[in-house]
Structure 1
């Protein structure tokens, strides 16, 4: 029996790149049912496809999974434009049946309003200095390549996965400062729009916290973090991490209310991580490649 949510939000899948975890996100979506699926930007990486990216069968399977959700579960799908799939601007807005492609949206649920946007529109570098953004993209792509090399040898030595890009983001002061400022500015934007919260992606940093009375929710990415936001029918949100899912269990997730600034942090119980082989019509076992 599938776990049923009201809404699932994923972002930054970057289909068309080597780093995209297309198989994993397809398997994730197969595990759940939801009334609303929000694809919050950078689902397709148009920047990389223009340069050296390659479209694989597993990337197409992701959209096959989304179509099945529409057909089998009557899911409403909202695809919001990101900076890497900015080619969508040429057709915005567009609605075909249960699929809507748009710039951003206001989502209302259980008496609360959330402004949902990819987040790049608040990034002055990406918006105003596109060539600098492209240079940054090249640097991040290099880090992901180097990360695959490092983790290949760590895997051979029996060592756990290590995120080089996350390490760099955490150590470089300017990166830490940028992320903090990004989160604060988005919270301000939600307040200006009269919303109770902001839901975004873009910076590949999954997060749920309260900023000046505004709920800040970031769905993370499907390049390294492999995370998504999920809302139950009572309006409670949680972050779900792919590596914490026990795919053999049909037990529903227990979702705790959104934490406030003063509420104690409770960690666990953690879900069992499943590494066992599974026959899946949509997926092959992921392989390590250089």
Structure 2
């Protein structure tokens, strides 16, 4: 099999949450290692500054992801657009900024064969995060505790030969308030895209992957790399597809660790992460 399993125009990823133990960083690095694209859009919450400030550890596997992105820029001429999220809001004081093929921006308009797509993380529609930062951090702590419980629960499931099960996704699916929030979020971002003269919108933030129509607006959500492990790709004919890592890895199996390749071993790519 060719090293590049997928050739596309654009890859959109969000909510990787580097700096946390729940980030599926080896999986997302494996995905990027076997994809060739002209443009990579990192749509917010790539680095989890909130958790790092609370003492979370940055690992070598997280550095390998950063090096993979830099390799794509330097070795493959990939254009990388990094949009600020709420967990990496420390970038806000730097926006907008341009480093050759790397751009740091608040939002972005993607020109496609189908028309213009508004790309934004989506936290601007979350009233709690926008106006009550303390409660937003408190909610993040609760989510972190739930993920810890989820790791323990799935350890027992693995011993019994069962597949991974997401407690948070199951809770969101059953709690009416959560379902209502997701619906309102989708309506709000679709309305903004419509006001901006776009035919579609691409966001992240709520960790709920989607590809559907909201009225006359094509709504895409790239999900996350904590539980759902999903991303969005744009093909050269203008089609979009919601990619699941569970499906992708059947085509390109991964080893237990992310291995370095000769193109990654380059001292010039050693750049510190600022939080």
What TM-score, normalized to structure 2?
Answer: 0.91
Alignment partner of 2:17 out of 3, 14, 31? 14
Cα contact 1:5–1:35 (8 A) shared by 2: yes
Tell me the equivalent position of 2:131: 128
Q: In 2 relative to 1, CA 136–281 (structure 1 residues): closer, same or farther, beyond 3 Å? A: same
Q: Structure 1 stretches (4+) deviating beyond 3 angstroms?
A: 246-249, 276-280
Tell me the equivalent position of 1:260: none
**How far apart are residue 207 of structure 1 and its match?**
0.2
Deviation sequence 1:51-84 (CA, Å, 0-9, x none): 0311111111001100111122210000000000
- Between the aligned partners of 1:278 and 1:132, the Cα distance in structure 2 is 37
The residue correspondences of 1:225-244 to structure 2 (distance < 5 A) are: 225-244=228-247
| Aligned residues between the structures | 258
The residue correspondences of 1:70-149 to structure 2 (distance < 5 A) are: 70-149=73-152
What TM-score, normalized to structure 1?
Answer: 0.86
Q: Which has the higher helix share?
A: 2
Cα contact 1:26–1:282 (8 A) shared by 2: no
- Between the aligned partners of 1:84 and 1:19, the Cα distance in structure 2 is 14
Coordinate RMSD, CA, aligned: 1.5
Tell me the equivalent position of 1:187: 190
Tell me the equivalent position of 1:281: 259
Tell me the equivalent position of 2:65: 62
The residue correspondences of 1:35-54 to structure 2 (distance < 5 A) are: 35-54=38-57
- Between the aligned partners of 1:280 and 1:12, the Cα distance in structure 2 is 20
Cα contact 2:61–2:258 (8 A) shared by 1: no
Question: Which runs of no fewer than 5 residues in structure 1 stay unpaired?
Answer: 250-273, 284-290
- Between the aligned partners of 2:228 and 2:27, the Cα distance in structure 1 is 11
Q: In 2 relative to 1, CA 156–278 (structure 1 residues): closer, same or farther, beyond 3 Å? A: closer
Please tell me whether residue 150 in structure 1 is matched to residue 137 in structure 2: no
